[in-house]
Amino acid sequence: MNYRSDPFNRRNTPEEQRLYDHLLSCVRTETPDRLTERFKALFIDGTGYPDTEIAALLDRLVNSKEAQEEFQYILNRCCHILINRWQTNSQHQKAIPQLVSLFESSSLKFSQPYYQSRRAARLQELVREFSNSEHYLTLQRLARVVDDSENEIEENEKRPLGTYIRRYPYLYSHCLLSDRSSYEHQQTVRKIQAQQQRQFELHLSQYVTYQVRRAQLARQSGLDKARRILKPIANPTLLSDRELYHSLKQFVGKAECGYTYRDLAHSFITHSSEVQSYGEFKAELYDYLVTTTRSDYGKRLFNERLSKQLKGTLPQSNEQKVSDFLIVRTCSQLLNFLVVESVQRPNHFVFIDLISNIGPIATTGLLLKIVLLCRKVKPYLEKKFSILFNHYEDSTDDAIQWLIKMLENLNVALSTNFGAVDLSFISQIA
């Protein structure tokens, strides 16, 4: 029987279920350190496991006809049984990176002559395949998210972009989950995402409050006294203080013609509801968007590209009435055009060109305009950025500052327009 004909509604084999139940029982009663050693003996060392029945059961799974295709899913599930439990206790979360790191040295364990048995060689092969899989990559990202030490950056230290994943909760759903993630793991990631988002919003609010109070004290008593009285609050982003100030003013305050981005989106939604056809809607949408690119760059090149993109979007529907379906399709195709099309076609020349010419804040504002008028495409925008994040994951930060600036500005834009934080008082900073 093919138990995985449907990856989302499949039955575990009896032996798989026995393995999962065993680990579930252990994780309820044993410390993370003891359980990590147990996991290492079973899956990494391949010898010395205290429960011989479970060791024999794993032998059968490893040597089954389906192992080449299925073992990586089984091993991934075993990892998540432990991780999902540990994540609920802040004292146990540090064990998650330790568990994930076991696989980094697994090939060394099997290089010793003692492990040259046929069984060990087969286990080694399957574990190596797992450590090269998308499953293990998502585990590594998750470990980075829960590892506080990842945020300890030495000045001028070069780091791969992948080590910054913790900073961007809006990427978690796309970078920490795979198509076959269990419901329990999806819930775990959502909890982590909510925690990290709340933490960022809290730190951002504290930082802005500090800046407002410092500005007020400086006006009253001078900057030196303000510095002595107030305990500094760190900037929670990778933007400079000046860059963050301009970002907040843009995404919280009046962005264009004396209106906030929310005001502009609300006005557009109200006005476009009166248009007679989809073709008219696209013309109005063009006008709504180009106010952000009304510069020499826009007039010279970009506005014409944008017009061509909109005219070429679902032209067969131009005479139809505007529908929710047409709006969602139009906005999602706009994001393909403006950011990146897909994993299979990761070209993003328009995106880089925009950033180079109008800067990361205005580029973020253009994307924010789209998701504010059609909130259903917000997850789609987040997916676009996860494609870019994955594409540049191994690149060092010094080589992709343009992308880091965008990731940071998008974090500010989404948090201030879709999160729970109210930073409208930033206007009090001179």
Q: Residue 233: what pLDDT?
A: 92
pLDDT surpassing 90 at residue 46: no
Q: Residue 153: what pLDDT?
A: 55
Q: Which pairs from 49-52 meet CB under 8 Å and 24+ separation?
A: 51/22
For the entire predicted model, the pTM comes to 0.90
Range of weakest confidence among 135-144, 181-190, 222-231, 328-337: 222-231
Of 5 and 274, the structure prediction assigns the larger pLDDT to 274
pLDDT surpassing 80 at residue 53: yes
Give the rounded percent of residues in the chain with a pLDDT score beyond 70: 92
Give the rounded percent of residues in the chain with a pLDDT score beyond 90: 74
Q: Each residue of 26-38: pLDDT tens digit?
A: 999 999 999 999 9
Q: Each residue of 309-352: pLDDT tens digit?
A: 999 999 999 999 999 999 999 999 999 999 999 999 999 999 99
Q: Residue 183: what pLDDT?
A: 87
**Mean pLDDT, to the nearest integer, of 249-257?**
91
- 130-143 as b/e: b if 16+ CB within 10 A: bbebebbbbbbbbb
Average pLDDT, the chain: 90
Q: Residue 157: what pLDDT?
A: 76
pLDDT surpassing 80 at residue 221: no
Residue 269 is which amino acid? I
pLDDT surpassing 90 at residue 12: no
The residue behind tokens 């709006």 is: 327
**Mean pLDDT, to the nearest integer, of 359-379?**
97
Q: Each residue of 382-407: pLDDT tens digit?
A: 999 999 999 999 999 999 999 999 99
Q: Residue 94: what pLDDT?
A: 93
pLDDT surpassing 60 at residue 4: no
Q: Do the beta carbons of residue 27 and residue 96 sit within 8 Å?
A: no
Q: Residue 156: what pLDDT?
A: 64
pLDDT bin (cut points 50, 70, 90) of residue 293 is confident
pLDDT bin (cut points 50, 70, 90) of residue 105 is low
Residue 96 is which amino acid? I
**Mean pLDDT, to the nearest integer, of 59-70?**
92
Q: Residue 47: what pLDDT?
A: 86
pLDDT surpassing 60 at residue 5: no
Q: Residue 361: what pLDDT?
A: 97
Q: Residue 363: what pLDDT?
A: 97
Q: Residue 111: what pLDDT?
A: 47
Q: Residue 230: what pLDDT?
A: 81
Q: Residue 7: what pLDDT?
A: 41
**Mean pLDDT, to the nearest integer, of 100-123?**
68
Of 217 and 73, the structure prediction assigns the larger pLDDT to 73
